[in-house]
Structure 1
Amino acid sequence: MPDKRTDDDFLEAFRSAALPLAAFDHRAHVRAGYLMVSRNGLGLAIEAFGKTLRAFAEAHGKAGLYHETITVAFLALINERIALGGDRGWDAFAAANPDLFARDSLAAFYAPEELASAEARRVFMLPRRRVA
């Protein structure tokens, strides 16, 4: 079920870790990434989102779940979609990019074993897999 908070309220709840862990599903991850990229650009969003996500996870007792490659890859995809499709707000972005909500969104770029590696969790790894 989509979160009905305003974008500002949603981001504040994420930043302060007031957002319940159960409410921070994949769609919420993409929304937070979209908001940070659209407001700050990709470079600043990578730093801010990573820092906020790690703090959010730690506040909810899930410190070991952060994955650098998945985070940066999704932010880059979000940035690309904004640049190519225009920024018409979260609802329009979500409607225009349903593929970003699929769990296998990165399958065209990364083999499962690449994303499963300790290195990919720790540092952003460029895709090794060729897109056919």
Structure 2
Amino acid sequence: MTDQDFMAAFEDTSLNANLFNHEAHIRMGWIYATRFPLADAIDRFARALKAYTRALGCVDKYHETITWFYMLLIAERQAETQATSFDVFLGANPDLVATPSILMRYYSQDTLASARARQHYILPDQGTRQEAA
């Protein structure tokens, strides 16, 4: 499926839920991040994801902190790589889909499990600075 078709199916909520795994979330975030300025990309992706979860009857799966975190990280990584396709982007950033989740480097389980984090973006609460060499 082309990026345009993938985004269109997502936005009109016709995308098969079985096709929307974690990697597909990352791909969709990358599509938005490469087509819109960052603030617009986050807003558009979040609104579309909320509509998609509503259409699937699983609104409780939407998580504001996770959505914003990945969109910010995807945009930062895209600025670094200037990837011209999602496959190139993912090849340069395999940690975005690795297990354990990259989220655990930045957030505690308690923070991610909180109702506040589900509804509002919370800045990372884990150490993220690398020691100077």
- State the TM bucket, normalised to the shorter chain: over 0.9
- CA separation in 2, counterparts of 1:94 and 1:28? 11
The Cα offsets for residues 2-34 of structure 1, whole Å up to 9 and x where unpaired, read as xxx001000001111111111110011000000
Matches within 5 A, 1:1-132: 5-103=1-99, 104-131=101-128
Q: What letter is aligned with 2:80? A: L
Q: What letter is aligned with 2:53? A: A
Q: Which runs of 5+ in 1 are unaligned?
A: none
| Secondary structure of residue in 2 paired with 1:119 | helix
Q: What letter is aligned with 2:77? A: R
Q: Among all aligned residue pairs of Structure 1 and Structure 2, give the percentage whose two residues are the same amino acid.
A: 40
Deviation at 1:105, TM superposition (A): 1.4
- CA separation in 2, counterparts of 1:95 and 1:29? 16
Q: Which runs of 5+ in 2 are unaligned?
A: none
The Cα offsets for residues 22-53 of structure 1, whole Å up to 9 and x where unpaired, read as 11100110000000011002110110000000
The Cα offsets for residues 43-83 of structure 1, whole Å up to 9 and x where unpaired, read as 10110000000000000111111100000000011001011
Q: Are 1:69 and 1:115, in contact at CA under 8 Å, matched by a contact in 2?
A: yes
Considering only aligned residues, what root-mean-square deviation do their CA atoms show, in Å? 1.1
Q: Are 1:36 and 1:49, in contact at CA under 8 Å, matched by a contact in 2?
A: yes
Count of paired positions: 128
